[in-house]
Amino acid sequence: MTSLNTSQREVLISGASLAGPTLAYWLHRYGFAVTVVEKASAPRGGGYPIDVRGTAIEVVRRMGILPQLQQAHIDTGRFTFLGADGGEVVALHPYAVAGSVEGQDLEIGRGDLTAALYATVRDDVEFVFDDSVDTLDENPHGVDVTFRSGKQRTFDLVVGADGMHSGTRRIVFGPEPEFHRYLGYGFVVFTMPNTFGLSRELMMWNTPGRAAALYATGETHDEVHAFLNFHQPEQPLDVLRDPEAQRELVARTYAGAGWEVPSLVKAMYEADDLFFDTAGQIRMPAWSSGRVALVGDAAYAPSFLTGQGSSLALVGAYMLARSLATHGDHVAAFCAYERDTREFVTMNQALVDKGGARLFPTTAEALEQRNAMLRDLVAMPATTPQPAHSALVLPEPAPAV
């Protein structure tokens, strides 16, 4: 734990994934005393591959971890789309589909990114694992916090970096449904043995409303990431907290499916790292209230359909820390954070309305159109960077303390 001097502003960050450690790093650099509380017992390892692109690359460069992340870059060689019977529809370079820039943008394991971010700040700020915020009570001088463990402390500011289903957001702003925009899909991710001989490649099977993918991210990897994403017109709220019901829903949805789907469904029942959720966005009219602000998925999750959640978390954390370092008053700082970041967030969230779900067509006609579009991409292999990814030019850091 850092020794505090009385002039330091004390900030509590809830969540130690991507936005939390990034914010902690920059706030520490700007002279804040930072505590991070995380409900898990350690930074969460493992997990599916994620993209870091455009403006977010500059954030990790300024944190000094770009070379390390480049080493961890997955560099997938092939993306093969399959039809109902498992036959190849089209195979192409992944960047042709994602709008990423080869040689600049990164795709890395979520756990690798979390570990790299945590390592930048683990010795400089206080991390409290296995705990979470129970109550927040704001007064003119600070926020009194009661933790689940029963401990009580007071901070100048509290930031919720606790993801899509943020507890901080619920406590301060209200229940999730008020801010959640359901995008029509349920999905499950897990790892399974790589009995398919796949190497640095992604295979995706589709029928209308159903997708099943296998993603091999390392040459010698003995496991693959399995991903089942399916159309559900109504959000399946009844299964969200019930893993057995989630498995049953998925098994029902994929009954009778071809290709390797039956072995994926079987492996889902055996997986110990199952992650089920629905595709959705968080849209809030304001990202702060009094002394409490939100960052990353907690404030503006764009959904995996945009592939921009990690990048928004990194950029948002950088912008929030810089605003707090630049403005003595937290009201002005939170206002500047939102003013300078919201357009970038809005552009990236809007990617779902501009074809973000095109990989997951829900009708036979849309699937035909998607396949025609993919075949056109093979004919035109040059990647076109997605302007939204770099729409924010990162301001210089505030002076370090």
Ligand X SMILES: Cc1cc2nc3c(=O)[nH]c(=O)nc-3n(C[C@H](O)[C@H](O)[C@H](O)COP(=O)(O)OP(=O)(O)OC[C@H]3O[C@@H](n4cnc5c(N)ncnc54)[C@H](O)[C@@H]3O)c2cc1C
Q: In this structure, what is the dihedral angle of CA atoms 47, 53, 58, 59, given to the nearest 10 degrees?
A: -40
Question: Cα–Cα–Cα angle for 15, 156, 168, nearest 5°?
Answer: 35
Cβ burial of 64 (10 Å; 0-12, 13-18, 19+) is exposed
Contacting residues for 386 by C-beta, under 8 A, at least 6 apart: 53, 54, 99, 100, 351
| Least spacing, CB of residue 314 vs ligand X, in Å | 8
Closer of 20 and 356 to ligand X (Cβ)? 20
15 vs 361, beta carbon nearer ligand X: 15
Closest CA to 287 of 215, 327, 339, 244: 339
Q: Which CB, 39 or 327, lies closer to ligand X? A: 39
Contact between 15 and ligand X per CB under 6 A: yes
Phi, psi angles (nearest 5°) of residue 181: -115, 110
The window from 8-16, 177-185, 249-257, 349-357 that contacts ligand X (CB under 6 A) reads 8-16
At 175, the amino acid letter reads P
For the CB of residue 287, give the shortest distance to ligand X in the complex, in Å.
12
Of 5-13, 157-165, 251-259, 384-392, the window that binds ligand X (rule: CB under 6 A) is 157-165
Shortest CB 308 distance to ligand X, Å: 5
Please state, as a whole number, how many other Cβ atoms lie within 10 Å of the Cβ of residue 3.
6
Does residue 14 touch ligand X according to CB under 6 A? yes
Report the Cα 306 to chain-centroid distance in Å: 10
State the helix-helix crossing angle for 309-326 and 55-62, rounded to 10 degrees.
Answer: 60
Selected range binding ligand X among 37-45, 191-199, 250-258, 324-332, rule: CB under 6 A: 37-45
CB of 43 to ligand X, least distance (A): 7
Site size toward ligand X (CB under 6 A) is 36
Binding status of residue 109 toward ligand X by CB under 6 A: no
Nearer to ligand X, 30 or 127 (CB): 127
Q: Rank residues 99 and 209 by Cβ distance to ligand X and give the closer one.
A: 99
The contact pattern for ligand X, residues 114-133, with x = CB under 6 A and - = no contact, is: ------------------xx
Q: Are the CB atoms for 338 and 286 separated by under 8 Å?
A: yes
DSSP H stretches of helix in 64-179: 66-72, 94-98, 110-119, 167-172
Site mask for ligand X (CB under 6 A), range 279-298, x = bound = -----------------xxx
Q: How far is the CB of 162 from ligand X (least distance, A)?
A: 4
Tell me the C-alpha distance between 360 and 209, whole Å: 7
Between 302 and 361, CB nearer to ligand X: 302
| 218: Cβ contacts below 8 Å, ≥ 6 apart | 74, 200
Q: Single out the residue of 94, 109, 309, 356 in contact with ligand X (rule: CB under 6 A).
A: 309
Shortest spacing between CB 21 and ligand X, in angstroms: 8
Cα-Cα end-to-end distance for the chain = 18
Element at 80 (helix H, strand E): strand 78-82
With beta carbons less than 8 A apart as the criterion, state whether 278 and 19 touch.
no
Binding-site member from 4, 40, 364, 401 for ligand X (CB under 6 A)? 40
Binding test (CB under 6 A) with ligand X, winner from 11, 12, 19, 224:
19
User: Under rule CB under 6 A, which residues in 43-72 are in contact with ligand X?
Assistant: 44, 48, 50-51
| C-beta separation of 218 from 111 below 8 A | no
Using CB under 6 A as the binding rule, whether residue 313 contacts ligand X is answered as: yes
Q: Which lies closer to ligand X via its Cβ, residue 323 or residue 348?
A: 348
Q: Is 260 in the site for ligand X (CB under 6 A)?
A: no
- Of the candidates 99, 167, 184, 356, which one interacts with ligand X according to CB under 6 A? 167
Strand (E) positions, 194-240?
A: 201-207, 210-216, 223-231
- Contact set with ligand X (CB under 6 A): 14-20, 37-40, 44, 48, 50-51, 110, 132-133, 161-164, 167, 189, 277, 296-298, 301, 304, 307-311, 313
